[in-house]
Amino acid sequence: MSSPDASVSAEQAIDPRQFRTVLGQFCTGITIITTVDDGEPVGFACQSFAALSLDPPLVLFCPTKGSRSWVAIERTGKFAVNVLAEEQQAVCARFGSREPDKFAGIDWTPSPLGSPIIDKSLAHIDCTVETVHDGGDHYVVFGRVSSMSEIKTERPLLFYRGQYTGIEPDKTVPATWRDDLEAFLTTTTEDTWL
């Protein structure tokens, strides 16, 4: 058990820098959320992306309330999630910048719903905006999946402790399912404590 001084209580003010550092301990993938608004491609780099539901198929992402790209996505009601591959650090940096034309020099094709699919992305998910919720200084956007890409074998671009990182070179596919683990979880005996 840790001492009371080891953690910050709810009554104490949360230091934003420490909060950001603690959150940086969680490794994330990096996505580019895109749409086409008034004939122009729009997008931003986004780490706050997650799967939400298999039935119905839903994902979520969290844009800042001041995001100009979010305004365009909300207006169009559709977006694509581009999961970046390990070699796309420059693409991430461009879409994470304040560069006005983030698509300059970026090759892309339209998704079935018309949103930009960035070339060489590891995966993409084409969505419509389902609902939007308040999330402090962000919105929490639920998207209904309309279509998605095939699975590739390249490695993802990851972000950890404020910098890009990757997975081990020989770890490019998920671990195979272990029959002994399945047997452990599904077999009931007199000594089962689960």
Residue 89 in domain = yes
- Does residue 122 lie in a domain region? yes
Task: Please name which of 118, 172, 112 lies closest in space to residue 148, comparing C-alpha atoms.
Answer: 112
**Contact, 79 vs 145, CB < 8 A?**
no
CATH of the domain at 103: 2.30.110.10
**For residue range 58-82, what is the model confidence (pLDDT) as tens digits?**
999 999 999 999 999 999 999 999 9
pLDDT in tens, 104-155: 999 999 999 999 999 999 999 999 999 999 999 999 999 999 999 998 888 9
Q: Tell me whether strands 31-37 and 78-83 are parallel, antiparallel or unpaired.
A: antiparallel
At 5, is the pLDDT very low, low, confident or very high (cuts 50, 70, 90)? low
* Residue range(s) defining the domain that contains residue 110: 14-186
Decide if 167 is inside a domain.
yes
Q: Is residue 60 part of a domain?
A: yes
- Enter the pTM of the model: 0.80
- The string of pLDDT tens digits covering residues 12-62 is 799 999 998 898 888 899 999 999 999 999 999 999 999 999 999 999 999
Provide the number of structural domains found in the chain: 1
Measured CA to CA in angstroms, residue 174 lies from 36, 122, 152, 168, 185 at distances of 34, 15, 12, 12, 20
Token representation of residue 177: 């399912």
The reply to whether 7 falls in a domain is no
Asked, for residue 4, whether it belongs to a domain, the answer is no
In a domain, 92, yes or no: yes
